[in-house]
Amino acid sequence: MTDIGTAGTFKLGDRAVKRMGYGAMQLAGPGVYGPPKDATAAVEVLRAAIESGVDHIDTSDFYGPHVTNQLIRKALHPYPKDLTIVTKIGARRGLEGTWNLAFSAEELTSAVHDNLHNLGVEALDVVNLRIMLDPHGPAEGSIEAPLTVLADLQRRGLVRHIGLSNVTSKQVAQGRTIAPIVCVQNQYNLAHRGDDPLIDELAAAKIAYVPFFPLGGFSPLQSTALSDVAKKLGATPMQVALAWLLRRAPNILLIPGTSSVGHLGENLAAAALRLPDDAMAVLNRIGGG
């Protein structure tokens, strides 16, 4: 079994978590909507993640909706004392699986209570406010109103720590004037490098950066250079892509998702993969770094 602790830890709120975690999005049905084909297998994956040393799980009550949180509760409650569960709010699912903005005070408050209920906790460890001003990615615009609502829920003791998702550097700066921000979750991977400056800003501020779609998401990473490096190292291309992220910056926390125990093991093994400098140079050129 891979010792994922070899990749080190980083502070997420008031806890130091291992840099290799797990993302629960793929445990829901197709399109992250409805129940999984095999709920028993989903529970097995969650338990295998914990048994492998994972102490950071990423989820949301709009995965399903409600499906992943209910699976997490079924599989892991009562939770290990060192487990940090990070959820997100700011969206809701339509009847046909659409992703809709849910930014009103009532919707945000209801989302926090739904997460509390379905996870079976009295307070949420970390809640990321997901900003959806543009369906294609981060877009400038004030986040004061929704973040103020979330900060009030934090003061009421329902939320321990606050993060931001799908945001720009300016929005992070604005957010930090409203509430302490412990993490930022944006799209970033070997080929999608737009957040390079932001990652370095956050590292200097000791704020965690958690890339979603670390392996490309719905368009898996494909590169001859990546495949060549992987072959030389005796690893899979996806393991190399994850190892590159771990080396990219010390504040990066990974949450690769899967619904397969076997695939989970492959992902976690990336924590022990060491990339030599010449391999890093080749990989950096893929994204123009």
The answer to whether residues 195 and 186 touch, using CB atoms and an 8 Å cutoff, is: yes
Which residue, among 242, 171, 239, 173, has the nearest Cα to 205 in the 3D structure?
173
The answer to whether residues 84 and 12 touch, using CB atoms and an 8 Å cutoff, is: yes
Which residue, among 112, 35, 119, 131, has the nearest Cα to 77 in the 3D structure?
119
Active site residue 63: yes
Strand 56-58 and strand 22-23: the pairing is: parallel
* 248 three-class SS: helix
Dist CA 205 CA 231 (whole Å): 37
Angle between helices 237-248 and 261-269 (to 10 degrees): 50
The single residue of 22, 33, 63, 79 carrying the catalytic annotation is: 63
The answer to whether residues 44 and 263 touch, using CB atoms and an 8 Å cutoff, is: no
Dist CA 43 CA 60 (whole Å): 16
Residues classed as catalytic: 63
